[in-house]
Amino acid sequence: MRIFIALLFSKLIKDKLFSYVENLRDNFDGNFTSYDNLHLTLYYIGEIDELKLCKVNEEIKKIKYSSFEFTISDLSSFKNSPTQRLVHFQIKPNLNLQGLHLRVINALKLAGITIKSTDFTPHITLGRKVKISIEELSKIESEVLTVNASRISIMESKRVDGELVYEELDYHLF
């Protein structure tokens, strides 16, 4: 099973984020994030078995942290190809979010997960392979959103009837 660790959002935040997905989908070609799949990845693990998943779950539940807020700011993109972009919301630099990411990395190491990279560019993906230029993207005004983080989710990425589905397998309140 393909596993990742994430922060999920309240309905209010998801509604606001999804309004941008809908705007992009209505005006540009691409592969857009479904409402239920909106999240912020803390670390993508990849393929692991049930035994390793149990160890990950045990270590994640040991993380001690205080809830905090972070800010979703501007629309931006990473380049997929010369004509396609991964469109996302940037997250303003946040020491608490960076600290939580490092705690997750340490918990995963204790669970026996090989960490491929500790690079962390927090973002919320709205669409992949979007046919949009930087100029077109810069014309879309974005609202600054403040998000409360108080739980870590262990997520499975799978295909159901051809659709990409992210399912929360467990979570840990902090």
Q: DSSP letters of 16-43?
A: HHHHHHHHHHHHS-SEE--GGG--EEEE
Tokens representing 139 are 């014309």
CA–CA separation, 8 vs 34, rounded Å?
13
* Alpha helices, H only, the chain: 11-27, 50-61, 95-110, 134-138
DSSP state of 76: E
pLDDT of residue 104: 98
Q: What is the pTM of this model?
A: 0.96
pLDDT of residue 85: 97
Return mean pLDDT, the chain.
97
Single out the residue of 74, 159, 155 nearest to residue 122, CA to CA: 74
- Alpha-carbon separation of residue 157 from 31, 133, 136, 146, 167 (angstroms): 16, 29, 31, 26, 7
From the options 3.30.1060.10, 3.90.1140.10, 1.25.40.10, 3.40.50.1860, give the CATH code of 2-173: 3.90.1140.10
Q: Are strands 151-160 and 2-7 parallel, antiparallel or unpaired?
A: antiparallel
- What is the CB neighbour count within 10 angstroms for residue 79? 10
Which stretches of the chain score pLDDT less than 50?
none
pLDDT of residue 80: 81
